[in-house]
Amino acid sequence: MIQNDKELKTSQERIAYFQKLLLQLRVQATPEEFPFVSSGYRMEIEKMQAEVLDYLTRHISEKARAMSINTIEKDFIDKVSVQIRVSPDGRDRFRVFTPFRFDDGDHIAIILKKEQGRWLLSDGGHTYMHLTYDIDDKLLHTGNRKKIILRALSLFDIEDRDGELIREVSNGNYGEALYAFAQALLRIADVSYLSRERVQSTFMEDFRTLLSENVPKSHMRSNWNDPERDPQGNYKVDCRINGMREPLFVFALNSNNKTRDATIALHQFKEWRIPFRSLGIFKNQSDISRKVRERFSDVCDKTFYSLIPNYASIQEYLVDNIGNTEELETKRK
């Protein structure tokens, strides 16, 4: 960051020097080598030119910025980690490189920028985008996931600005703000790695969301059992979908016991000669033993072995197989 005319002159001289080197490389380097050897000089020139323009477009009457990049970086290092690095990314904007990573190895994204006189830390919308690699965007802000995200935002004083997560730096406490911001991003990322109990409940929430978005409400009967043959409710269906020649019995399968019960229910329905078609949706096939899974598949008409990765395919299957969709279209509008 340029603070005075002497530093401006030095930067301009360096820019001219690197430009001269590029002129020589255009002649001396081979066509294959040139893109690689020139890219580093280009990045350095662009960086210095941005700093020059930043200095030249700031009136001389303006006070020097309260903290230089080196001071900010030192505060980050003192309060957070020696592995912090700060790099200019335009006027009053810096990229903050940290050792913090998501569980898949990707670094969290953090930007320090100035808006309307306030210094802010931002993730640039990267955190939610990263989560949607594995979680459907519609499911990210529902049920337990929504609760975890809201709790993290509240705990660390984070603002969700249309998908961009923001934290203001108060009283020049850059290090403390960075530490809290990084912890918030990592806490939010935990929605991908919930405890087993929360995963089970989230699966059922996702299952209900899937059906409510793709099946008219008047066609659905949740937790259905045959009132004449089974008044005690020994053979349950998670959702019966009507409105077609044969109803569709849909089972949400998240454990061995649940899958065994669904298999027994399907056998019983067939013995009673009830006309129906069946659909089984597993939370994750790896959670179900092979024999239990195969026995269910033998008696079920259609099976999806995981919910989230197959979300779009299950939607397509439901839309293709349900009857009158007028109510659903009205609801979507």
Asked if pLDDT for residue 69 goes beyond 70, the answer is no
Domain at 84, CATH number: 3.30.1460
Same domain, 12 and 37: yes
Tell me the C-alpha distance between 241 and 255, whole Å.
Answer: 23
Domain boundaries, position 295: 196-332
Please tell me whether residues 280 and 154 are part of one structural domain: no
Measure the CA–CA gap between 71 and 77, rounded to whole angstroms: 10
Average the pLDDT over each of 27-31, 79-83, 264-268, 326-330 and give the range with the smallest value.
326-330
Beta bridge partners of 121: 112, 167
Instruction: Let me know if residue 83 belongs to a domain.
Output: yes
- State the alpha helices, DSSP H only, in the chain: 5-28, 34-56, 69-79, 126-131, 137-140, 143-155, 174-189, 196-214, 256-271, 290-299, 311-321, 326-332
pLDDT at 332: 46
**Is the pLDDT confidence value at 283 over 60?**
yes
Distance CA 298, CA 315 (A): 23
Q: Quick one: pLDDT band at residue 61, thresholds 50, 70, 90?
A: low
**215, 192 Cβ separation under 8 angstroms:** no
- Which of the residue ranges 39-43, 90-94, 217-221, 325-329 would you say has the lowest mean pLDDT? 325-329
Q: So what's the pLDDT on residue 68?
A: 59
Please tell me whether residues 221 and 319 are part of one structural domain.
yes
Query: Stretch 183-204: mean pLDDT, rounded?
Result: 70
- Identify the band that residue 323 occupies on the pLDDT scale cut at 50, 70 and 90: low
pLDDT exceeds 60 at position 329: no
pLDDT, residue 201, reads 57
Same domain, 124 and 229: no
- Three-state DSSP class for residue 172: coil
Q: Output the pLDDT for position 302.
A: 95
Beta bridge partners of 282: 253
Number of domains the chain contains: 3
Q: What integer pLDDT is reported at residue 228 of this predicted model? A: 93
